[in-house]
A and B are shown apart, each in its own frame.
Chain A
């Protein structure tokens, strides 16, 4: 396989965002994934979200592990730096990158093998630390790139393409992210762009560890009857608790909602999330209730989607470390080296 160039031509009539960029400015190289792969739909949603938020395309750092899912950062935001690191270690690489420059937007893309198996520890610890990032797991229940072995998110009792039944319990990354203290937790489905796009926008605008589990069917190895990660299964069992609109400006919310059905959450930077409740009892600020809700519905075989938890008062790793406002990678010798007079003092104290 070699590099495939994408034509640079842009239609003059393409819609532009506040910064004057078109959607094409947020695209990347042509995808090399299987036609119909759920991951490509997520790529499209990321492009849409960044376009809609009018993010400067080069101010995002895209970091991933290894897997079909982890290849996708090459297929969006072609003007951003990307880092396809090593299997399961996206979270640590992203953490380091974030420490070096707090001014960029960090987008971590991973797979279920990448995050729930080999990188389970790094997933957990990056979330515990409150790294300011959008962490997306493109969850297909299998190892796509190594040809369809069960991953740790495959449901117990689900069948592989070869007919083997999975005997092990599944890891629900959303439930674990909640337990670990993620301040933004959501789940969506690659086939539901209207739900997914605003969710990614909200996550990008969130300060702290924002985690999104996106069920993303693998056409090649996990889209058959007996799979619980197939298009059909997820469509049938999708239980959305809410729908989201992201409002970035100061303008009042004009969308026409039935009274009492909308909850507005204001995030750090003033972005407001208008949540249309589909389940009247669901409270996005109640971490404990969210955990119970998830367990109950999972037991019934339902795939709960939506914004499941958000803490608008969240802090991030830089707050905890009390680092300076300037990105650490901009500090020069004069800021960092204490100088020879200080060293003389140190020498004197060591005699």
Chain B
């Protein structure tokens, strides 16, 4: 053993499980995370998985964080190395003074370990094989056995784990008993053969409160249920498929007529993304609330329809769970790389509304709100999720629904209004907000019908190639986009403890890492006002925030500073004032990264006169 003393921490460490995809480790690992949550200690777990079904390496990382820092931290304090394929790099990734937990059934040469870490060997395979004969059982229970051993080492209350197993196998008595048995096999072996606990421990706390633990994709799907979506069309693509899966599951429970058993929804798995968005547009045109869920490649395919939605003014919702692009990119890695692609999607002059939820709670709220916005504005709304919030369980405030909330169906002219003699021009701006009235097909025997098309037409939806008529319509569409500014979620500002000339803009899943980075930076003496952008078009407070500060950092998870470009472009801001802080290797952004990058820049500013930086 080296001079390096072991990392010592209560309720604040990162543990990483290195597994083989398809080995059934996922549920044991999730059980691990949940048991700590049940002890009142916040955790933030993340799946790091390949674009493959079986055999390739996967990792599951749990950040145990009494302080509630839910962003990725970086570094590993304890590695549970269950995958021989990735052994070397797993061992190398452990922080000095950290722990390595491994299956010691087969001897491993000393050269494969490190001097500066503590190595804990448990003969998992031997224990498993002496108890179970069935190969599948052996595989599954090995995971529960390591969970048992870890509970002893980290002082996780076994009663809590047993209770969680009980909830999971409520109706399956036999499975329940055998899982509990496996848990104790591992736990007892550890207690008898190892020094327990180690210097990383979990202690009961009260820091979780009433928060819930949920995946963003499931929350967005639930938002669609509450927001009144009745038609969902989709085509499978990671990391968005679980939106449609969750919508299906939620609807099965919540959307069947109790008397007839019939479905108050329709879900179609399209033959591709073109069909999916076509179905959404057809349904929305006909007065239903409809959405699709997809990711980058799907958004690329949908371009033509997105332009149609913009120009023919048909409501629609696309939930884009972003993954690393371009092209197939890194399908199972996270990024915020479709900001520009969505903001200006399709050929010709277009602009689209984007919503940036920070966590599952906002994913739920914004998803529900996106249908109101789509119908109010009669246009495409993009709900910009990403893999990090979409496919990981995240601790967030409980979901809320106001019982008296009605849907905003926007400007819809009814048969009564038509009979009252109201002038109906499908593309006529009657009150200056740029939003015209629409009618649903089948409304009236002789009034209010019109021909929807992507070609130019006049205010009464009559085909026209007259340049002035075209320009008039394009101007109105701009007015409508201005109206959108005040309808979409506003940016949220939080000021530094001390007055400062510096600000930072960020959005979406960067939130928890940003909050933590601010704490780190403040300790280093760097004070920053924060603005979290929650939607595009930008509210006027974005421009004033930039105006109020000498420099504003724009923190993003893409290479090209896409949100920064959008701010510069839309608000005519001098790009020099906006300093890009960019993280784009496909892993979630960390507080360490943000604080490092901003801190370095701030340190530089302190020694370099401003002029030099500008030149």
Contacts and interface: CB of A to CB of B under 8 A. Distances in A.
A3 B264 CA distance: 41
A350 B452 contact: no
B454 A337 contact: no
Given A84-B454, A84-B455, A121 B275 contact: yes
Could you say which of A85, A318, A332, A335 has the most chain B C-beta atoms within 10 Å of its C-beta?
A: A85
B275 A97 contact: no
Contact of B231 (A99, A104, A350): A99
A331 B452 contact: no
A336 interface: yes
Contacts of B399: 343, 346-347
A162 to B, nearest CB: 28
B450 interface: yes
Contacts of B262: 322-325
B308 A85 contact: yes
Given A3-B464, A324-B264, A338-B225, A84 B452 contact: yes
Interface stretch (A75-83, A227-235, A241-249, A254-262): A75-83
Contacts of B120: none
A110 to B, nearest CB: 13
Nearest to B314: A83
B230 A329 contact: yes
B282 interface: yes
Contacts of A333: 228, 405-407
B348 interface: no
Interface in B179-214: 208, 210-214
Interface string B422-457: 000000000000000001111111100111111100
B416 interface: no
B255 interface: yes
A10 interface: no
B286 interface: yes
Contact of B454 (A2, A86, A103): A86
B72 to A, nearest CB: 21
Contacts of B285: 83, 93, 96-97, 100
Contacts of B363: none
A59 B442 contact: yes
A155 interface: no
Contacts of A101: 286-288, 440-442
Interface stretch (B147-155, B266-274, B587-595): B266-274
B82 interface: no
Contact of B263 (A59, A324, A344): A324
Given A2-B463, A328-B230, A125 B271 contact: yes
A351 interface: yes
B212 A350 contact: yes
Most buried by A among B268, B290, B464: B268
B275 A99 contact: no
A332 B288 CA distance: 10
B278 A93 contact: yes
Nearest to B450: A81
A78 B445 CA distance: 10
Contacts of A27: none
Contacts of B462: 2-3
Contact of B282 (A96, A318, A328, A351): A96
B286 A324 contact: no
Interface in A80-124: 80-86, 89, 91-101, 103-104, 121-122, 124
Contact of A338 (B254, B280, B287, B288): B254
A69 B265 CA distance: 33
B256 to A, nearest CB: 9
Interface residues of A, number: 64
B443 A328 contact: no
B266 A347 contact: no
B264 A58 contact: no
A3 B274 contact: no
A195 B465 CA distance: 38
A146 interface: no
A139 B317 CA distance: 35
A345 B230 CA distance: 22
B213 A351 contact: yes
A9 to B, nearest CB: 15
Contacts of A299: none
Contacts of A85: 278, 281-282, 308, 452, 454
A58 B454 contact: no
B134 interface: no
A73 B276 CA distance: 24
Interface in B1-45: 37
B442 A103 contact: yes
Contacts of B405: 333, 337
Nearest to A102: B266
B278 A350 contact: no
Contact of A96 (B212, B231, B257, B402): B231
A310 interface: no
Nearest to B272: A121
Contacts of B276: 92
Contact of B445 (A56, A96, A103): A56
Contact of A93 (B227, B255, B281): B281
B380 to A, nearest CB: 14
B304 interface: yes
Given A58-B449, A81-B449, A92 B279 contact: yes
Contacts of A325: 260, 262
B230 A340 contact: no
A260 to B, nearest CB: 43
A175 B46 CA distance: 51
Given A94-B282, A100-B288, A347-B398, A336 B255 contact: yes
A252 interface: no
Contacts of A89: 274-275, 278, 305
A74 interface: yes
B271 A328 contact: no
Contacts of B400: 340, 343
B226 interface: yes
Given A331-B230, A337-B401, A347-B212, A95 B278 contact: yes
A2 B286 CA distance: 27
A99 B279 contact: yes
Interface in B500-537: none
Contacts of B452: 81-85
B161 interface: no
Contact of B284 (A61, A82, A96, A321): A96
Most buried by B among A3, A79, A96, A103: A96
Nearest to A73: B451
B257 A100 contact: no
A1 interface: yes
Contacts of B274: 89, 92, 121-122
Nearest to A83: B452
Given A58-B446, A93-B278, A321-B266, A342 B213 contact: no
A198 to B, nearest CB: 25
Interface of B: 37, 208, 210-214, 222, 225-228, 230-231, 233, 254-255, 257, 260-268, 270-272, 274-288, 290, 304-305, 308, 398-403, 405-407, 439-446, 449-455, 458, 462-466
Interface of A: 1-3, 56-59, 61, 63, 73-74, 78-86, 89, 91-101, 103-104, 121-122, 124-125, 129, 317-318, 321-325, 328-329, 331-333, 335-340, 342-344, 346-347, 350-351
Q: Which 4 A-B pairs have the closest CB atoms?
A: A92-B278, A96-B282, A100-B288, A81-B441
21 contacts: A1-B463, A2-B465, A58-B442, A61-B442, A63-B282, A83-B282, A85-B281, A89-B305, A92-B278, A95-B268, A95-B282, A100-B287, A122-B274, A324-B262, A328-B266, A337-B227, A342-B254, A347-B399, A350-B212, A351-B37, A351-B211
Given A58-B449, A79-B446, A95-B275, 10 more contacts: A58-B441, A61-B442, A92-B278, A96-B285, A99-B268, A100-B230, A100-B287, A324-B260, A339-B401, A347-B398
